[in-house]
Chain A
Amino acid sequence: MIEKALRGNSRYWGWIGFLFIVIFVGFLFYLRQFGYGLGITGLNRDVTWGLYIAQFTFLVGVAASAVMVVLPYYLHDFKAFGKITILGETLAIASVVMCGTFIFVDMGQPLRIPNVFIFPSPNSLMFWDTIALGGYLVLNVIISINVIASEKKGTPPPGWIKPIILLSIPWAISIHTVTAFLYSGLAARPFWMTAILAPRFLASAFSGGPALLLLLVFLLRKFTRFDPGREPIQKLGLIITYAMTINVFFVLMEIFTAFYSGIPEHLDHFKFLYVGLHGNTTLVPWMWVSSILAVISLVLLYIPKTRNNETVLGLACVTVFVSIWIEKGLGMVITGFVPNPLGEVTRYWPTFTETMITIGVYAIGALIVTIFYKATLSIRGEVSV
């Protein structure tokens, strides 16, 4: 399988080379952080988690979203997803690897991470999240490798893989639920302590993840002979429409509860997000962009004429993805810390080093996705070399 990823045209190698350079640059910046400490980021005593943990949370969603193609294909035997299911599963692998890397770069003492396994602490949701994510990675690696291998042999996947695939469906839900519990169980952070956090995470994951998958499908169709046909694209578009609707609905429910009840502990966080708090408006423009994009995406997705137009659908996917990235990859985590439990507002914004490390980790994910997609498409003869 892997040998298919070791041959390619100059454009392929150019892309791989570019990713390696980005990863290397990110690694150099990480060495700076490793030497100096996490103080090199914008984090501080009040805002103790930032860009890294937010990306972790966002990517757990992308990983979980594979279930949106796996479930129709394997559980409902929805044949049209036959060509793209493996793309979703391998995207999940890349996402979980990125999640792990983001956790790693966020640790103050990364070399002590084995302590999590040496002294397992079932009290801590982090322990369960490690199990959930590790298990999900193993499941998807087993599934993907076997499915790709049997495609290569031209045989149906072995029978024993089916129960593993079915297990991966609830497991996908569990990774994002447990990740939401990391936050929603904290009495100290009223912004996160809401029972709707896990459903909200799932809704945003099931819209943002498939939007990313659909964009990748469009890219593959442009640059290779890969073509899944019209049906799966339309179906994914519909899935994104429903999930995004539910996501926006959940956000509005949160906003209603906070603003109508008027409890300062809850309200202050939403004020910080949408109008600024004590003069701090760091996230305000971002959140409004996110909200406007969400509305635009829903308009584009609701009108059958625009949704059925693949160019517009692509545009809708971009708006969904960016909107959710801002909401989850920026707003969700930082706002839990602003204001802090004492009602104080402290500014946080990622530093250059922090941003470069983040980009480097994303490049690792892009590399994994590229390798898997290249191997899959080569086996199917959908790329030239």
Chain B
Amino acid sequence: MTIDRRKFIKTAGLASLAGLVGKNVLGQDVSEVIEPGAFDRLAGLQSPLQAQRWAMAVDIKKCENQHDCTKCIDACHLVHNVPEFDNPKDEIKWIWKEPFEHAFHEQENEFQKTELIHSTPLLFCNHCDNPPCVSVCPTRATWKREDGIVMMDWHRCIGCRYCMAGCPYGSRSFNWRDPRPFIKNLQRDYPTRMRGVVEKCTFCDERLALGMLPACVEACDAGALVFGDLEDPEADIRKLLNDNFSIRRKPGLGTQPEIYYIVS
């Protein structure tokens, strides 16, 4: 099932409307937006964004041109109540930047294009087609949805951290302690986590359900993040991948990551 054009236009319009709300959410005055009625959630639920295979393209060059921009990270971590610790030991991250040599560990090449060597690509959960984290989970607290999203059920996770051992991308974080006191700007729309469970990026499943694009995509005004359905030949992401050279992290492992990095 692909999204038919009319429905897509409708949802896109709604998404941009939601985008306005989203922008506010990202602003300082939170109380204003959280007030009930600011956004008709029930209406949003009637026109969710749907796909057969969600994927994201990251344009490294466009992203690097923004230099020290962290808008997508800030937006994601704000709307998902991701705590901010002042030490790397407790660290939790859904999106983060990593030097190219770490992000693309297998792309060892001393004489690679300078701008690439010095880049710090954004890292997410890869929402793999063959997710090793899902295979190892002993409670099915993490699983792959039909639309490709690798989901988490924080009610069920027992905190064994087997998924963290199984993830080849370091995309999962564990709540080593109660995160609440370390959330600066608590968002009532979204739960926090309790200590002792694993968390990660969910491609904003909660926003897709309301017809909104992921928070990071919306926050990026450089157009460096393109999100869409790979099974839809008309989707922007398909055209983008068709016209540009892209790489994925550790393709040799057969996990089929759904985050594509455009390097041309």
A contacting B, Cβ–Cβ less than 8 Å: yes
Q: Which A residues lie at the B interface, using CB under 8 A?
A: 36-40, 43-46, 48-49, 103, 106-110, 112-113, 115-116, 118-119, 121, 123-127, 130, 182, 185-189, 264, 336-337, 340-344, 346
Question: By CB atoms of chain B within 10 A, which of A118, A126, A187, A188 has the most?
Answer: A188
Q: Which of B138, B156, B166, B250 contacts A127 (CB 8 A)?
A: B138
**Measured between C-beta atoms, what is the minimum distance from B85 to chain A in Å?**
9
Taking a contact as CB atoms under 8 Å apart, the answer to whether A121 and B158 are in contact is no
Q: Using Cβ atoms and an 8 Å threshold, which residues of chain A touch B188?
A: none
Taking a contact as CB atoms under 8 Å apart, the answer to whether B167 and A44 are in contact is no
Q: Using Cβ atoms and an 8 Å threshold, which residues of chain A touch B5?
A: none
Q: Which B residues lie at the A interface, using CB under 8 A?
A: 88-92, 98, 101-103, 105, 108, 132, 134-141, 156-162, 164-170, 173-178, 194-198, 250, 253-255
Q: Using Cβ atoms and an 8 Å threshold, which residues of chain B touch A340?
A: 170
Known contacts A107-B160, A112-B158; A39/B177 CB under 8 A:
yes
Question: By CB atoms of chain A within 10 A, which of B160, B170, B173 has the most?
Answer: B160
Taking a contact as CB atoms under 8 Å apart, the answer to whether B162 and A38 are in contact is no
Taking a contact as CB atoms under 8 Å apart, the answer to whether B102 and A342 are in contact is yes
Cα–Cα, bound, A38→B174 (Å): 9
Nearest B residue to A336 by beta-carbon distance?
Answer: B165
Taking a contact as CB atoms under 8 Å apart, the answer to whether A121 and B137 are in contact is yes
Q: Which of A115, A116, A188 contacts B165 (CB 8 A)?
A: A188
Cα–Cα, bound, A189→B133 (Å): 13
Q: Which of B103, B135, B164 contacts A48 (CB 8 A)?
A: B164
Taking a contact as CB atoms under 8 Å apart, the answer to whether B177 and A108 are in contact is no
Cα–Cα, bound, A38→B90 (Å): 10
Cα–Cα, bound, A113→B137 (Å): 13
Taking a contact as CB atoms under 8 Å apart, the answer to whether B161 and A341 are in contact is no
Q: Using Cβ atoms and an 8 Å threshold, which residues of chain A touch B176?
A: 37-39, 43-44
Taking a contact as CB atoms under 8 Å apart, the answer to whether A187 and B177 are in contact is no
Taking a contact as CB atoms under 8 Å apart, the answer to whether B177 and A36 are in contact is yes
Taking a contact as CB atoms under 8 Å apart, the answer to whether B174 and A48 are in contact is yes
Taking a contact as CB atoms under 8 Å apart, the answer to whether A115 and B177 are in contact is no
Q: Using Cβ atoms and an 8 Å threshold, which residues of chain A touch B102?
A: 342-344
Known contacts A45-B173, A46-B170, A188-B132; A38/B159 CB under 8 A:
yes
Taking a contact as CB atoms under 8 Å apart, the answer to whether A126 and B136 are in contact is yes
Nearest A residue to B179 by beta-carbon distance?
Answer: A37
Q: Which of B89, B137, B157 contacts A109 (CB 8 A)?
A: B157
Known contacts A108-B159, A341-B105, A341-B170; A187/B89 CB under 8 A:
no
Q: Using Cβ atoms and an 8 Å threshold, which residues of chain A touch B198?
A: 108
**Measured between C-beta atoms, what is the minimum distance from A301 to chain B in Å?**
35
Q: List 12 A-B contacts (CB under 8 A).
A: A37-B195, A39-B89, A39-B177, A44-B89, A108-B195, A109-B158, A109-B197, A116-B158, A121-B140, A123-B134, A186-B165, A343-B101
Taking a contact as CB atoms under 8 Å apart, the answer to whether B168 and A187 are in contact is yes
Q: Using Cβ atoms and an 8 Å threshold, which residues of chain B touch A127?
A: 138
